[in-house]
Structure 1
Amino acid sequence: MLPRVRVVPTASGARAVQVIWRYKDNKPVLDHIGSAHGDEELALLKAKAQRLIDGHQPQLDIDLGDQMAPTGSMGSPLPVVAERTGYLIDAFDAVYRGLGFDTATGGDEVFEHLVLARIVQPGSKLDSIETLAEIGVTSASYATIKRRLPRYADPAFQDELTRACAARAGIGPGTLVLFDVTTLYFETDEPDGFRQPGFSKERRLEPQITVGLLSDHRGFPLAVGAFEGNKAETLTMIPMINRLQQAYDLTQVTVVADAGMFSASNKQAIIDAGLGYILGVRFTQIPYPIAAWRQQHPDSDYVDGQTWSLADRAGQGPDGFPHSITYYQYSHDRARRSRKGIAEQVRKAEAAVAGKTAIKRNRYVQLAGATKTVNYGLAEKNTALAGIKGYETNLVDLDPDAVINAYRQLFRIEKAFRMSKSDLKARPIYHRLKDSIDAHLTIVMAAMAVGHELETRTGLSLRRLVRTLKRYRTFKLDMNGHTIHAATPLPADIQDLIQQLTRT
């Protein structure tokens, strides 16, 4: 029977309450009352919908002696005039302002709201308007958002955010910065001058862009840059470092990166600029100092944590120090994992050679014409290298443990990239112009910084934190023209959590 109240799930996991008045051309004519994130809120919205159907809202005159049935009873609930996820919004505000983003952006409320929406429910810029409405924030219009995007793509705007991030991270002379690269693909078959097919981290064939990220040693983002999808990873590092130096007036930085990020020209450019570097070293033979040790100790096994060093043989500086030094370290756990992986790949290679499984990419399957064999020699060679990792640096006065520990922090920037792709859905699938893509990545970087700080303060993942705080809302109720405030009761552990988030 119409009209009636309908409850339907939303994409964000909430429950939308609607009033269906009639059907026209088999389509419902309806009013959207609101979205509920809990049973109490759902009951309030359903009561509001029923009052709309009944065409009457009972009132209570607070100041009169004789009253009608009191508003607020089960049969006569108070109307909700406003609601917001106040605790989540307040936590975001505390972190956003604590990072200095409000000052860096000149108090740009549109940008702040886009960052908030990216954290709460990642989606398109149009979707962000609905996301903000669901948590009780009034968004700018879609037209206003589109007009603002070119500003967020402006290098000057991005540099202000970089300065704020660097200031928060305490960046100074000799600071370690981590560098990594990822790729973001687009669901299109048509490349352009910016979105180009290239080596994809996700093994995609579609046009993509290459994204470089600089972070501090904790994985806190400092700068993000977008490059053509077919740009070599080694060509992205120097522009990113130069931009960070210019934005924060840095003259001395130590760059930590994987070996794949360093080309010979990259390394020389860093040396010429007077910067330090720590990078992973790739090798296919037993390194010289380890081979020499093995000759001297033929009956000995490696010890977990055992370290060898090899100074640069090309020459020494005027102070007598070598230009660079490489440390090699053996890890028992790394060796165990590597040997297990090699054994698994050899087993698959044997199955493929025997015709039991299809031949896929496997380094231990050797093809010579139509003949397939297992390359046991390569497996033996790789097994001999299992557990050994190399680290090269031009900071020759650092002890081996400091160098190796600095390199091991790279997992933090990898974690930051995972947050951007999963929790923040960084892939700019709704953009095609370079300025729009750059603006999108600026918003994502700010959201990464806020998300990193939220996770650091609470020890919770960003997704879990957002889910938790969205359950607790504040309400404004109307009682005959008087505003009454109400809130979902907070358990003790949630109160402690909010205190951690809102501290300055």
Structure 2
Amino acid sequence: MIAARILDPDSKLATTRWWSTTTLPDILGVNDADEDDLYDAMDWLLQRQSHIEKKLAARHLTEGGMALYDLSSSYFEGTTCPLAALGHNRDGKKGKLQVNYGLLTDDRGRPVSVSVFKGNTGDPKTLMPQVRKVKDDFGIKTVVLVGDRGMISQKQIDEIKGVDGLDWITALKTDAIRKLADDQGPLQLGLFDERNLFEFTHPDFPGERLVACRNPELRKLRAYKRKSLLEATSLELTKVRAMVGRGKLAGKDKIGVRVGKVIDKYKVAKHFVLNIKDHHFDFHIDTEKVAAEAALDGIYVLRTSLAEERISTEDIVRNYKNLSQVERAFRSMKTMDLKVRPIHHRLENRVRAHIFLCMLAYYVEWHMREAWRPVLFCDEDQARKKTRDPVAPATRSKTALEKVHSKTLADGSTVHSFQTLLKQLSTIVRNRCRVPTDGPNAPIFDVVTTPTVEQQRAYGLLETIEV
């Protein structure tokens, strides 16, 4: 089932039917397995999840090292699973019940553990179970937990401060940044004129190091997005104002409902001043609020409990940005490759087993991607991440750019995506042949197509994976 999620993810019934088109069941000795056998295997796997995760943690988490954690969700088909609930929707499926799951990885985004929660569980409530898992179940005495500002909030920091051997890296929320940037605050924007990051402290965050960063590309993006949203909202509100002026829309409540739909759609209500009466509606943009928000465009502030002798200012930023590796795992598990969703299982334990199965499949995929870096559209020079400017937008190496532009490697062979390389490997087939003689007892033998040079190289790279 792990291999199936990588090669052809589908329901368990569809997986058993897919087996008739591949030699995989024969190679693994599961030719006779049916759908019920797969469910039994899932139950068996779930019983061993804790043991497997301990093995993965022992292999990939180190004393004093980083552990990345984030939460995502996937929607359900159906309403009967006890884990299914309405919650913060991340899939764009309004009105769908969902389940939440938290992924714990090492600093390279390699998964070691997954925890499943009800669909209405907030991010912060899932943090302490991870702390207990790392400290108690995995037996790691000192660890640095890295999470985003929604995950490691002030309330959670107050809670984990008393845990021996636990440090953390996270980010401040916008309101806290705005307070630090006030006229007399330590976050003076003029300091960004000559550099893109600096470290400071503040009495509101005792014993912590704060790192302010400004990303010029993010600054441009947020300015463009705000401008677009303000223009779209103004256009719709202008239409409402015209309707009120023509007498087609009247009544303070009715006007308010129509205006509310517009404001809720574009999420920029804080930048508009509204004047609603029974037969009148007008609005204008609060330019002072817009300017105040724009001043902080592209600026984010990280916070950590780590002392200077343990980590540099630049490495604080680099390790926080490693959370993108967890986001990559979620993208792969949810959409691109492994397809956690939609979840068709009804029993709670089957849902937990399904998500754990997907995590293990991503673990295998992660190693495959790393081994195949030389032949994929990705950067081989991973060492650059440890030395490049941590705030500036990531840039590809010369070798990676050449692969993108030419679509070929130095030897002229084709550069692939992960999926196209899998498809190319799927052209290797095993033909069952019969000797052309009369009678039912004619000898039968198998012939496997000879792999191409590119296919041989792909298999050779997989053999470099340490097991």
- Shorter-chain TM-score bucket reads 0.7 to 0.9
Assess, with a 3 A threshold, how the Cα gap between structure 1 residues 478 and 239 changes in structure 2: closer, same or farther: same
Kindly state the Cα deviation for residue 200 of structure 1 after the two structures are TM-superposed. Answer: 1.1
Give the deviation of 1:144 after TM superposition. 2.0
Over 3 Å counting, the alpha-carbon distance change for 1:494 and 1:263 in structure 2 is: same
Deviation, 1:254, is 0.8
Q: 1:469 to 1:168 in 2, by over 3 A?
A: farther
User: Would the aligned equivalents of 1:223 and 1:240 in 2 still touch at CA under 8 Å?
Assistant: no
2:456 is aligned to 495
Which segment drifts farther, 300-309 or 261-270?
300-309
- Deviation of residue 419 (structure 1)? 0.1
Pick from 158, 167, 172 the counterpart of residue 49 of structure 2.
158
Per-residue CA deviations over 1:106-133 (Å, capped at 9, x if unaligned) read xxxxxxxx11111111111111112233
Residue 199 of structure 2 contacts residue 209 of structure 2 at CA under 8 Å; is this kept in 1?
Answer: no
Partners of 1:116 and 1:137 lie apart in 2 by 9
Long gaps (5+) in structure 1: 1-113, 316-322
Indicate conservation of the 8 Å contact 2:186/2:202, yes or no. no
Contact 1:312 1:325 in 2 (8 A): no
Runs of 4+ in 1 over 3 A off after TM superposition: 190-193, 244-247, 284-298, 311-315, 364-372, 480-485
Residue equivalent to 1:264:
154
Contact 1:325–1:392 (CA under 8 A) maintained in structure 2: yes
- The answer for unaligned runs of 5 or more in structure 2 is 242-260, 377-416
Structure 2 distance, partners of 1:297, 1:502, is: 52
Write out aligned runs for 1:399-478 (5 A).
399-422=312-335, 423-427=337-341, 429-459=343-373, 460=376, 461-478=417-434
- What is the alpha-carbon distance in structure 1 between the residues aligned to residue 13 and residue 205 of structure 2? 58
Distance change >3 Å, CA 168–CA 270, structure 1 → 2:
same
CA contact (8 A) 2:428 2:451 kept: yes
State the SS of the aligned residue for 2:109.
Answer: coil
The one-letter code of the counterpart of 1:116 is A
Residue 77 of structure 2 aligns to a residue in which SS? coil
When residues 297 and 258 of structure 1 are mapped into structure 2, their CA distance, relative to the original with a 3 A threshold, is closer
Counterpart CA distance in 2 for 1:195 and 1:152 is 22
**Counterpart amino acid of 1:444?**
C
Q: Which residue of 2 aligns with 1:43?
A: none
Which has the larger Rg?
1
Task: Give, in angstroms, the shift of residue 496 of structure 1.
Answer: 1.2
Find the aligned partners of 2:428 and 2:201 in 1 and give their Cα distance: 58
**Following the alignment from structure 1 to structure 2, what is the Cα–Cα distance between the partners of residues 297 and 450?**
45
- Higher relative strand content: 1
Task: Please say if 1:233 is aligned against 2:119.
Answer: no
- Determine which of 61, 69, 89 is the counterpart of 1:200: 89
In structure 2, the CA distance between the partners of 1:495 and 1:374, relative to structure 1 (3 Å rule), is same
Structure 1 183/365 Cα, relative in aligned 2: closer, same or farther at 3 Å?
Answer: farther
TM-aligned CA distance change 1:368 to 1:150, over 3 Å: farther
- What secondary structure sits across from 2:266 in the alignment? coil
**RMSD of aligned C-alpha atoms?**
2.7
How far does residue 294 in structure 1 lie from its aligned partner after superposition? 9.1
Report the CA distance between 1:194 and its aligned residue.
Answer: 2.1
User: Do the aligned partners of 1:289 and 1:308 also contact (CA within 8 Å) in 2?
Assistant: no
Q: Is the 8 A contact 1:162 1:244 kept in 2?
A: no
**In the superposition, relative to structure 1, how do residues 295 and 304 fare at CA in structure 2: closer, same or farther (>3 Å)?**
closer
Q: What percent identity do the matched residue pairs reach? A: 21
Q: How far off its partner does 1:290 sit?
A: 8.3
| Cα distance in 1 between the residues matched to 2:199 and 2:234 | 36
Aligned to 2:447: 486
Pairwise mapping of residues 84-483 of structure 1 onto structure 2 (< 5 A)? Answer: 114-138=1-25, 139=30, 140-154=33-47, 157-169=48-60, 171-188=61-78, 190=79, 193-203=82-92, 204-274=94-164, 275-284=166-175, 286=178, 288=180, 302-313=193-204, 315=206, 323-355=207-239, 359=262, 360-363=265-268, 364-369=271-276, 370-397=281-308, 398-422=311-335, 423-427=337-341, 429-459=343-373, 460=376, 461-479=417-435, 481-482=442-443
- The TM-score normalised by the length of structure 2 is 0.74
Please give the secondary structure, in 2, of the residue aligned with 1:386: coil
Shift of 1:449: 0.3
Between the aligned partners of 1:301 and 1:325, the Cα distance in structure 2 is 18
- TM-score (norm. length: structure 1): 0.69
> How far apart are 1:281 and its partner, in Å?
1.1
Q: Secondary structure at the match of 1:443?
A: helix
Secondary structure, counterpart of 1:431 in structure 2: coil
Take 1:167 and 1:314, find their aligned partners in 2: how far apart are those partners? 33
Change (3 A) 1:351 1:262: same
